[in-house]
Structure 1
Amino acid sequence: MPQPKDLDPYTDPRAFYGAELRRLREAAGLSQGELGSRAFCSGTYIGLFEAGERRPQLELSRTLDGLLGSGEHLQRLCLLARKSKVAGYFADAVELQARSSSIDSYTAMLVPGLLQTASYARALTRAAHPFATAEVVEGHVTTRMERAQLLDSPAAPVLWVMIHEAALLVPVGGRVVMAEQLNHLAEQTDSRPRIVTQVLPFSAGAHPFLHASMLLMQFTDSPAVVYTESAYSGQLVEEPLLVEQYSTAYDLARAAALSPEASLVRIVSAAREFATP
């Protein structure tokens, strides 16, 4: 598990939370493992919060306050540490993506966020938030483009993208926007060796992810995590048996998808169709 380390508690709210959790735990004479067992989680999990490597959870913070006799101290710090530029339900997944060694992604009707163009992201945001101001919409688009910088990092995760063929046909933003988006998807796949893209064709029929999008994130130093998402909500799945079930289902769906080479041909073909008047 992560060893206790000295944090500068004033660098950001998450570091302050981690430093305070460690201070309270040590004052109670508990190891990370002992506190974890009383909070019904692992000592490794406690260590990740103390090291500032995971965003704190409100429900767990409430439990820890009760165990450590700290009133609502950790809960208040948790609220500060959880502030994010993205939707609250997605914020944990965004930070985990940055730490992951590999990401397996499935989307049914959309190009994944990390591979979206600004025009495509703008059209999606306007559709999801029809009454938002232009300033709010552009804020969402800017945040999404900033997230894509993860792929430029020397430590970028291996990104395995599986996208349903339907996503290649829905004219998000119109024909010009879709042609640009699909060409961008093809270019990113072709030029970045750490990105693999597969198209799951209509001919594959029913599969486990018909009703949801999914991210399976794996790490070098902690267990894998799954993030599932619907229109206005998302959920992290950390239960090992459930994560394994998602992983197996993803492998089965991947086996039914087109090969990476055939997938690239299909993406380019769809881009040409949108580009043709």
Structure 2
Amino acid sequence: MVRRKDIDGSESVPCFYGKELRWKREAAGLTLQQLVEGSFYGLSYLSEIERGHRRMPRDLAEHVDRRLKTDGFFARNCEDVRKAKRAGQDQGSYFKRILEVEKDAEYIEEWCATWIPGLLQTEAYARAVVRAGHPLEPQAQSDAKVYERLTRAGDLLSTGLRRPEYWVILHESLLRQPILPSSEMAEQLNQIAELAHQHRFTPQILPWNSTAHPVMAGTVMSLGFPDAPPLVYTESSYSGNTIEDPAPVKLYRRSYDRLRAAALPPEESLALIEGAAENFRNGKHQLWLEERDLTQERL
């Protein structure tokens, strides 16, 4: 039998809160399934709360207090835990939570305006992005980051039946920006096209000359789960924020729907990706840039 992993309550406020929840639940003689019965949440969601990986929503905290007869303890403290978790993200672990929960996601929707997302990156592209962000770190650390990124992509986009539905909207500039030598850029774009042909994800491209559109700054990832509310993750160069409050999550998801409507259809987007790869492969990338500049001058 697999031994249950102990929770270190000293690690963080969420871990302390989760450890107390597990202790109260077990003292009452309840399983995870028995405790969530009558709520809108699943046992995996409650398990992640106990391990300090997810926050406790107010309605679930009130349900737990009723079942465990804890006199409102979990409802009173769930907001403090949420604030502590957000503060903890400033210590460099801001992406760790997404890594912990994305494996249980039913769908992942991502918008990227400044870089190709990690799940679609080749080794060369990942290495260039990592090195640009941390130019002075030891090579071994950069290698480890690249390896972890490629491993994550291999696990999440595998051909297994459990993988999430993955939808990505990219700004067209990412297909034209030569951050790698032409041959490596062609390889990167070919990999994106191949993953799309294999139905590992659905691509859409927002044209370079689009007018004002939703979410013009930063990157956004929306995750949905079969037994838990959706969440949103936003990221900049050296920080990220996980959003679970229903109101802003709803706004982000509506914005993503409007962005999807403004982007090219998947079939047309795929053809554009393949055309950009061909331009890099045949050395015609610079010609496209010059033609775009002429078009911009006419406008």
Q: Does 1:248 align with 2:254?
A: yes
Aligned to 1:157: 164
C-alpha distance in 1 between matches for 2:46 and 2:213:
40
Displacement after TM superposition at 1:125 (Å): 0.4
Aligned to 2:4: 9
Q: What does the per-residue CA deviation read over 1:204-255, in whole Å, with 9 as the maximum and x for residues that have no partner?
A: 2221221110111011111111101111111111111111111111111111
Q: Does 1:235 align with 2:230?
A: no
Letter in 1 for 2:141: V
CA 1:105–1:172: 2 relative to 1, 3 Å: same
C-alpha distance in 1 between matches for 2:26 and 2:49:
19
CA 1:247–1:257: 2 relative to 1, 3 Å: same
Extract unaligned runs of 5+ from structure 1. Answer: 1-6, 37-42, 61-66, 69-74
Aligned to 1:167: 174
CA 1:13–1:181: 2 relative to 1, 3 Å: farther
Aligned to 1:129: 134
SS of the aligned residue for 2:166 comes to: strand
Q: Does 1:189 align with 2:196?
A: yes
Q: TM-score, normalised by structure 2?
A: 0.71
The structure that has the greater radius of gyration is: 2
C-alpha distance in 1 between matches for 2:51 and 2:114:
29
Aligned to 1:63: none
SS of the aligned residue for 1:163 comes to: strand
**1:90 equivalent among 95, 103, 114:** 95
Aligned to 2:61: none
Displacement after TM superposition at 1:164 (Å): 0.6
Whether the 8 Å contact between 2:234 and 2:242 is mirrored in structure 1 is yes
Aligned to 2:70: none
Displacement after TM superposition at 1:9 (Å): 2.8
C-alpha distance in 2 between matches for 1:191 and 1:223:
29
CA 1:121–1:22: 2 relative to 1, 3 Å: same
Displacement after TM superposition at 1:52 (Å): 3.7
Letter in 1 for 2:161: P
C-alpha distance in 2 between matches for 1:56 and 1:19:
8
Whether the 8 Å contact between 1:199 and 1:263 is mirrored in structure 2 is yes
C-alpha distance in 2 between matches for 1:274 and 1:55:
47
Displacement after TM superposition at 1:188 (Å): 0.5
C-alpha distance in 2 between matches for 1:99 and 1:58:
13
Aligned to 2:289: none
RMSD: 3.7
**2:152 equivalent among 147, 156, 169:** 147
Q: What does the per-residue CA deviation read over 1:22-51, in whole Å, with 9 as the maximum and x for residues that have no partner?
A: 11455599999xx99xxxxxx778965652
Q: TM-score, normalised by structure 1?
A: 0.76
C-alpha distance in 2 between matches for 1:262 and 1:272:
15
Displacement after TM superposition at 1:8 (Å): 3.9
The equivalences for 1:35-114 within 5 A come to 50-52=46-48, 56=52, 67=73, 87-114=92-119
SS of the aligned residue for 1:258 comes to: coil
The count of residues paired between Structure 1 and Structure 2 equals: 246
C-alpha distance in 2 between matches for 1:176 and 1:169:
13
CA 1:174–1:248: 2 relative to 1, 3 Å: same
Letter in 2 for 1:151: L
Q: What does the per-residue CA deviation read over 1:146-196, in whole Å, with 9 as the maximum and x for residues that have no partner?
A: 11121113200000110010111121233222111001001101112x511
Whether the 8 Å contact between 1:201 and 1:258 is mirrored in structure 2 is yes
Extract unaligned runs of 5+ from structure 2. Answer: 10-14, 57-72, 75-80, 284-299
CA 1:54–1:126: 2 relative to 1, 3 Å: farther
Aligned to 2:266: 260
